[in-house]
Chains A and B, each alone.
Chain A
């Protein structure tokens, strides 16, 4: 029977013409949009993870226990000297507060001291080796834009040393790095860690260490380690929220398509009474007719899969190849976001979407068709059921 039902359902559906193709178009559109949207978010997530690891997280962070990344006041005491065999496999970063005076303005900044010969982060710290500026500094493109600073500019910086005594000097912007990670850019000034030690008198101190790939963590008193996954969990959560937000649109689209199928089904169960009676007169059981009508509705989703892949596959591949340009305002979200995001479509996403569409289309087709089981075939043949 299933083979027969599929065959008959296909004949009926294609025979029904325009209405079928209308339903199929809307459904296939919902399909492609769902896959595209999720693919975009997944692509963004992957890019954000990649970039954040490359620019900020490395292979994990070892943080001074007194330092809380969400509390700038903890910077004052949240640092120390680390004694461990693993020290060679850790890149120290010392973070201090300071104030910058670009063009007469007063801007609070984070001074981040980092080793000049590190290779774990993409920050172009090698540039420090090629300069003879007294206090060389690197800033990101957002910071440069916000403060209208260019390479070669000298700006007055004020900071406090370990005895809380104010000090001031000019720093020289020796480079502006392009990046997708606002959290290493906004409000930050990167300088060689030896220089910062000298400026603050905190020689050998670090607020946190960035782990290299062969770092193996053993508990160290006064410090705690956050691995990749812990660090990325925050990012994952934020992106998951974006996913839910965007889903509303495509669930509406899907609901619209399902409503159209439901409507078609209700109408056909009503309009095709004589046909239903004829099927029964020809020897179909009512359940076979219910199955046939449900199959017709469900087949909308199979046709939609087919039609959707006809235009969807080239379209989705095209976008996966050239990427989607992100508006500049997207940069303010505090999550890494590239100028172009390349959607990725996983097998899970595609199969999951097909399953979602097929199952929901089958359900909305079955509900009206269930009525057929209660029909009196003699009345159906007269076409007089209300």
Chain B
């Protein structure tokens, strides 16, 4: 099933008097359960594309359809709904909410969904188990290591069982051991829940795990390679 469809997307940013084209007629399709990544030099447009797919930004031209929704046509409220229910984000700098505990961070999206307490509690504890942090629920974020922080971020994004996970350079602040460990966790979740993962990365260690690598350069797709034969799933 096609879950993300990007069609001739152009994204321009105003710079000075003119404008800068960060994405230049990008067309890409992703299917449920893919474990794909955007790679390319700094400034090639990886984050910009992830932001559009994540409905944090809108294309200047072209169409992006995500989980059945037309990104360019969404209101603020509809975009928030889409993110709240269908998209999980993982960031390079973790972006955990510092004054909350591990549990409260993971619980957040469910609070927004107005899920009752017993449902939230079960879902949060499950998610913490997936990432191996079930004993750290009450810890303060400031007490966590980088690897643990990124695991909390994965649990927070996965707790609502999103259809799509967007991970922007998730390993940039992690050492090799932690990178392998989170990639394995995410790969497991990908297989277990058929969640579509889309990464942006420079990191060879991350690329090892990917089934599909899309090379961007100057806002254009220069290469789109399928690594392993997971075609039967598409």
Chain A residues with a Cβ under 8 A of chain B: 4, 7-8, 11-12, 14-16, 274-275, 277-278, 280-288, 376-378, 381
Report yes or no: A275 in contact with B56, Cβ–Cβ below 8 A: no
Report yes or no: B80 in contact with A12, Cβ–Cβ below 8 A: no
Report yes or no: A381 in contact with B56, Cβ–Cβ below 8 A: yes
In terms of DSSP, what is the predominant structure of the interface of chain A?
helix
In-complex Cβ contact of A283 among B80, B93, B97, B98 (8 A): B80
Report yes or no: A285 in contact with B97, Cβ–Cβ below 8 A: no
In-complex Cβ contact of A15 among B51, B100, B114 (8 A): B100
Q: What's the least CB distance linking B10 to chain A, in Å?
A: 16
B95 contacts A by Cβ under 8 Å: yes
- Chain B contacts with A in 42-96, Cβ cutoff 8 A: 47-48, 51, 54, 56-57, 76-77, 80-81, 83-85, 89, 91, 93, 95
Residues of A within 8 A of B56 (CB): 277, 280-281, 377-378, 381
Chain B residues with a Cβ under 8 A of chain A: 47-48, 51, 54, 56-57, 76-77, 80-81, 83-85, 89, 91, 93, 95, 97-100, 104, 108-109, 111-114, 156
The complex places the Cα of A33 from the Cα of B221 at a distance, in Å, of 67
Residues of B within 8 A of A284 (CB): 80, 84, 112
If A11-B104, A378-B57 touch, does A283 touch B95 (CB 8 Å cutoff)? no
Interface pairs (24), CB distance under 8 Å = A4-B114, A7-B111, A12-B99, A14-B99, A15-B100, A275-B97, A277-B95, A278-B97, A280-B56, A280-B83, A281-B54, A282-B89, A282-B108, A282-B156, A283-B85, A283-B109, A283-B112, A283-B113, A285-B80, A287-B76, A376-B57, A378-B48, A378-B51, A381-B95
If A282-B108, A285-B77, A286-B76 touch, does A16 touch B99 (CB 8 Å cutoff)? yes
- Number of A-B residue pairs with CB-CB distance less than 8 Å in the complex they form: 67
In-complex Cβ contact of A281 among B81, B83, B93 (8 A): B83
Report yes or no: B83 in contact with A282, Cβ–Cβ below 8 A: yes
Report yes or no: B84 in contact with A282, Cβ–Cβ below 8 A: yes
The complex places the Cα of A274 from the Cα of B98 at a distance, in Å, of 11
Report yes or no: B80 in contact with A4, Cβ–Cβ below 8 A: no
Residues of B within 8 A of A14 (CB): 99
- Please name the residue on chain B nearest to A380 by beta carbon: B56
If A274-B95, A377-B56 touch, does A283 touch B84 (CB 8 Å cutoff)? yes
If A15-B98, A285-B77 touch, does A274 touch B93 (CB 8 Å cutoff)? yes
Q: What's the least CB distance linking A288 to chain B, in Å?
A: 8
